[in-house]
Amino acid sequence: MLADTWHLFNKYMRITMRMPMWTLFTLIQPLIWLLIFGQLFKDFVQLGDEDYMAFMVPGILVMTVLFGSSWSGVSLLREITAGTVDKMLVSPVSRIAIVLSRVLHSSAQVIAQAFIMLLVAWILGATLNMSPLYLLMAMVIVLLLGIGFAALSNGFAIALQREEPLVMIGNLMTLPLIFFSSALVPEQFMPDWIQLISAVNPISYAVDAIRAVLSTTPDMAIFGKGLVVLTIFAGASLAWAVTAFNALRD
Amino acid sequence: MTNLAIQIKGLTKIYPPDNRAVDTLDLEIKAGEIMALLGPNGAGKSTTIRAASTLCGFDEGKVVVAGFDVDTHSLEVRQAIGVVAQQTGIDYFLTGRENMVLQGHLYRMKRSDINSRIEELARYFELDSSIDNLVSTYSGGMRRKLDIACALIHRPEILFLDEPTLGLDIKNRKILWKHIDKLNKEFGLTILLTTHYLEEADNLSHQVAIINNGQVQVVDTPDALKNSIHGDSITVSFDDVGKNEQAFFHYAQQQSYIKGSTWEDNKLHLYVENGGANVAALMAIATENQAQITNLSLSRPTLDDVFLKYTGTSILETKEEEGDEWWKQWAGKGGNTGKWKSQWGAGDSAEDGEEQSWKNSDWLKESEDGKNIGTQKREEAQWQQDSWSGQQQGANKNDGSNTTDEQGSQQWDPSQQGNWQNNEWNKNKDGGEK
C-alpha cells in the first residue's frame, strides 16, 4: 500500500510541478485577505501589545489550507470522468492508496502555499516566531488540517458525484467555518453562541495551535491540544473518505 | 488456464430502480479468440465488460475470467487482464513513458522489466518517437494506442476493449484494427471487444455476439451469421405505408424468390434469392399496386441484416446516439443529469505524420490485395428511385457515377450496374473474409 501511495503521489506531484501557476492561483484570495484586511483592521483591533498582523497570519494560513484542499474532490471527479480512476481500479493497486495519495498530494500543496504566505507576512513586517522547530510544528498542524479537509472534499465528491454541488458545499463551508473560529477575531470578542460553535470547530484548534507556536512566547499546552484534536479530525475524515470510496465500488 | 478464457453464466446487473442493464446473459470466449459484442448503445455491452473486469459488481450470475471467479478472486483476475475503457484514462500532463511507468508500478512490476516492456510496446505501436512527449500533444489515435500499450504492460492473457475506436476517424480506426489483429495473431491474446461499428465486428472478430436489451441474441462467426440470411437483402423505403404499400408487400411475399421479410418503420427488408435478377420483378409488382417507393437498395447480407433479424431494429439507426451512461455504471447509482455526458466529446483526427504512416502501412496494402478488407466488405448498392417515386432524390448530384460513403455503401444509378458488378468491390468480396 505504501509503495502504491508513493507512486501515485509522485504522479500528482509531477503534474502539479508542470502547472505551478495553479498552486499560485489559489493563493490569491488569502493574499488579498492578508494585504487588505490586515491593513484595514490593524488600527481597530486592540490586542494589547500584540501586532494584529501577527495575530491574523495563523488565520490566513488556515484559510489557505481550506481554499487549497477543497479542490481535491473536484479533481477526483475529473479523474473519474476522464477514466483515470477506472484505469487504477482495474489494476491490483490498493484502494486506500488511491485516496491517500490524493489527500497527501493536496496536503503537500497546501504546505508549500503556507510557506509562501508566511514569507509574504514576514515581508509585510508581521512579528512571528520563525525558528525552524516552531515553523515545523506549525506545518504539522497545517498538514493535519490539509489531510482532514482534502479527505472531506474527496468523501463529498464521491457522495455527491457531481462537480457543481461539491464546489458549492466547499464555498459554503469555508467562510462560515473561518468566521466561527478564532481565525480573525480573538475568542473573547465573539458572542456566546459563536464561542460555542468555535469550541467544536477544528479550525479553531488549528488556528490556536499555529498561533501558539508562531508566537514570540510559544505555548506548548495549546499546541498539544490542537495536535490531538487535529489528529483525530484527520484520521476520522480519512477513514470516511476511504470507506466512501470502497463502498462505491461494491 | 482452461480452454475457456471467459465464462459468463446468467449475468444480471440491475441499476436502481429496476433497470436491467444486463439480464441473465450467457457468454463463453475461448482462449486465443477475438469476440466482438455487437449492439446498440445501452444494450449492455459495457456493463458486461465492466463486470468481467471487476469494475462493477453484479446482482446475479457467475463470471469466470482466466480461470478465476471475479467475485472471489478479483486480484488474480486483475493480474490476468488488461482493460481499455471508452475513456482513455491516461494523464495528459504526463509523457507517454511516464504513463506507462506508472501503469507498470501499479502492477508491481520491476523497474527494469517496465523499461524493457516500454521499449517493446512503443516500437510495436509505432510510438517510439513520441514516447517522451506529453500526452497532451498526441492525436486521438496516438492516445488510444498508448492506452492499449498501457493495458498490455503487464503481459495480460486477456484484453478487454470497450469501444476501442469510438470517436476515431476511419484512418485511425484501421490502424488500430491492424494492431488489434496482430496482437491476437502474433501473441495469442484473447480479446473481448465491444463495438457498434459493423465493420469492426466483421473484420476483427472470430466470433460475434449480438447483444440487445442486456441479452445475447446469437453468437457465431461473422460469416455464419451472414450466411444465416438467405439470399440478398433488398431494402424498400416508403414515405408512408398505406393500402398500396401493404398490397405490394402482400403480393411480394408470395413470390417464390422471397425468403424472408422484416418491417422496420417505413422500411421493408426483403431477403431475396438472386436479388439482382429479381429487382425488376419486384418493381413491376410495386408499379402494379401503385406503391410509392422512395428508395430501394440491394446488398449482400451484412451483420446489420443479422442484427435486424434478431432484434427487429437496425444497428445503423441507433449508432449516432450518445454512449452508455457510463458514469452511472461507474457509480452504480445516481448521476442522472447530463453534465458529464456533455464533457465526453469525440476524439481528434490523426496527425499528418500518422496519416502518412497509415498510407504506407501493410494494412492498406493488404486491403488493396483484397486479403484483409475494411469497409470494402460491405457491398451495398443503392438505387435512387427518382422515376418510380416521382420525387427527385440526390442521385443526380452524383453525375451518374458510383460514389462511396463512410459505411462503404455504394450509390449508383441503374445505368451503372454493369460497372458495379465488375468493379473492385465485387473482386474483394470473398478475399475479405477472415
Element holding A181 (H helix, E strand): none
Is A18 part of a structural domain of the chain?
yes
Last residue of a domain, one of B172, B194, B225: B225
pLDDT of B333 higher than 80: no
Residues B179 and B195 in one domain: yes
Give the strands of the sheet with B207-212, arranged side by side.
B81-84, B158-162, B190-195, B34-38, B207-212, B215-220
Percent above pLDDT 70 for chain A: 95
**B328-341: b (≥16 Cβ within 10 Å) or e:** bbbbbeebeeeebe
> Which residue reads 486480484 in cell numbers?
B75
Backbone angles phi, psi at B209, to 5 degrees: -110, 120
Quick check: B103 and A164 CB within 8 A?
A: no
Q: Which helix (H) or strand (E) holds B364?
A: helix B362-369
The total number of structural domains in chain A stands at 1
Same domain, B69 and B203: yes
The residue whose grid cell reads 489557505 is A64
B129 and B255 together in one domain: no
Identify whether B8 is part of a domain.
yes
Residues B211 and B270 in one domain: no
Alpha helix ranges (H) inside A19-131: 20-25, 28-32, 38-41, 52-69, 72-82, 84-89, 95-123
Give the best-scoring range by mean pLDDT among B229-238, B317-326, B385-394, B408-417: B229-238
CB-neighbour burial class of residue B111 (10 A; exposed 0-12, middle 13-18, buried 19+): exposed
**Residue A97 domain-assigned (yes or no):** yes
Span B262-266, mean pLDDT?
Answer: 84
Please give the residue range of the domain that contains residue A131: 2-40+51-249
The residue among B225, B253, B278 that closes a domain is B225
Nearest-CB residue to A82 (from B53, B87, B334) = B87
**What are the distances in angstroms from CA B414 to CA A64, B332, B377, B384, B417?**
75, 53, 21, 8, 5
Judged by a CB distance cut-off of 8 A, whether residue B431 touches chain A is: no
Residues B80 and B177 occupy one common structural domain: yes
The answer to whether residues B23 and B142 belong to one domain is yes
> Across residues B331-351, what is the average pLDDT?
32
Structurally, chain B folds into a number of domains equal to: 2
Please state the separation of Cα B362 from the chain's center in Å.
Answer: 22
Cβ–Cβ under 8 Å, residues A155 and A237: yes
The 3-state DSSP class for residue B37 equals strand
The reply to whether residue A15 touches residue B327, judged by beta carbons under 8 angstroms, is no
In a domain, B310, yes or no: no
pLDDT of residue A97: 92
* Res A49: pLDDT: 63
Residues B146 and B268 in one domain: no
Residue-wise pLDDT tens digits, A144-172: 999 999 999 999 998 888 888 888 888 87
B368-393 mean pLDDT: 33
Q: Which of B225, B251, B274 is the last residue of a domain?
A: B225
d(CA A202, CA A68): 17
Please indicate whether residue A189 or residue B45 has the higher confidence score (pLDDT).
Answer: B45
Query: What are the residues whose beta carbons fall under 8 Å from the beta carbon of B263, sequence distance 6 or more?
Result: B269
Identify the helix (H) or strand (E) that includes residue B243: helix B243-252
Sign of the CA dihedral B384, B390, B394, B395? positive
Residue A191, class by beta-carbon neighbours within 10 Å (0-12 exposed, 13-18 middle, 19+ buried)? exposed
**Rounded CA separation A118/A134 (Å):** 13
Which of A84, A91, A95 should be substituted to probe chain B, the one whose Cβ sees the most B Cβ atoms within 10 Å? A91
pLDDT bucket at B419, cuts 50 / 70 / 90 = very low
**Residue A120 has what pLDDT?**
87
- Residue B190 pairs in a beta bridge with B158
B85 domain residue, yes or no = yes
B353 and chain A: CB distance < 8 Å anywhere?
no
Is the pLDDT reported for residue B199 higher than 70?
Answer: yes
**Nearest residue to B182 via CA among B124, B131, B139, B126:** B124
Per-residue pLDDT reduced to its tens digit, B112-143: 999 999 999 999 998 989 999 999 999 888 99
At residue A44, the pLDDT reads 62
Q: Do B167 and B243 reside in the same domain of the chain?
A: no
Res. A43 pLDDT band, cuts 50 70 90: low
- State the pLDDT at residue B377: 33
* Assigned domain for A45 exists: no
The mean per-residue pLDDT over the stretch A88-102 comes to 91
Q: Is the pLDDT of residue B223 over 90?
A: no
Asked if A93's CB is within 8 angstroms of B106's CB, the reply is yes
Q: How far apart are CA B127 and CA B120, in angstroms?
A: 10
Average pLDDT estimate for B418-433 = 32
Q: Is residue B259 part of a domain?
A: yes
- Claim to verify: residue B100 and residue B247 sit in the same structural domain: no
Chain A closest CA to B81's CA: distance in Å? 9
The cell numbers describing A179, all together, are 468566521
The rounded Cα B326 to chain-centroid distance in angstroms is 18
**B176 lies in some domain:** yes
Would you say residue B314 lies in a domain? no
What is residue A42's predicted lDDT score, i.e. its pLDDT?
A: 66
CA distance B280 to B143: 50
Q: What is the residue-wise DSSP string for A71-91?
A: THHHHHHHHHHHTHHHHHHTT
Q: Do B335 and A163 touch (CB under 8 A)?
A: no
B369, part of any domain: no
How far apart CA B199 and CA B167 sit, in angstroms, is 15
**Among A207, A146, A203, residue whose Cα is nearest residue A177:** A203
The pLDDT assigned to A232 comes to 96
Instruction: Return phi, psi of residue B263, to 5°.
Output: -95, 140
Q: What is the ipTM of this complex?
A: 0.82
Question: Number of A:B CB contacts under 8 A?
Answer: 88
Q: Write out pLDDT tens, residues A175-193.
A: 888 888 887 777 777 788 8
Task: For residues B242-257, give the mean pLDDT.
Answer: 89
Provide the pLDDT for residue A91: 92
Average pLDDT over residues A198-210: 89
Beta-carbon separation of A92 and B91 below 8 A: no
Average pLDDT, chain B: 74
**B140, B195: one domain:** yes
Same domain, yes or no, for B246 and B200? no
Does A15 lie at the interface with B, CB-CB under 8 angstroms? yes
Is 90 exceeded by the pLDDT of residue A173? no
Higher pLDDT residue, B403 or B299?
A: B299
DSSP B370-427: TSS-SGGG--EEEEE-HHHHT---GGGGGTT--EE-TT-EEEE-GGGHHHHHHSHHHH
Domain that holds residue B166: 4-225
Residue B73 — very low, low, confident or very high, per pLDDT cuts 50/70/90?
very high
From the list A14, A83, A248, which residue is nearest B88 (CB)? Answer: A83
Cell numbers 465528491: residue = A157
| Beta strands across the sheet bearing B60-65 | B19-30, B4-15, B60-65, B68-69
- Kindly state whether A78 is in contact with chain B, defined as any CB-CB distance less than 8 angstroms: no
Q: What's the CA gap between B53 and B83, in Å, rounded?
A: 7
Residue B226 or B184, more confident: B184
Flag whether the pTM goes above 0.80: no
Q: Are residues B174 and B269 in the same domain?
A: no
Which CB contacts under 8 angstroms, 24+ apart, belong to B356-360? B357/B126, B357/B175, B358/B171, B358/B172, B358/B174, B358/B175
Nearest-CA neighbor of B119 among B148, B153, B90? B153
Q: Quick one: average pLDDT of B299-320?
A: 72
Contact: A82, B89; criterion CB under 8 Å: yes
In a domain? residue B427: yes
Nearest to B78 among A19, A82, A91 (CB): A91
Which residues, 6+ apart, have CB-to-CB distance to B97 below 8 Å? B118, B122, B131, B132
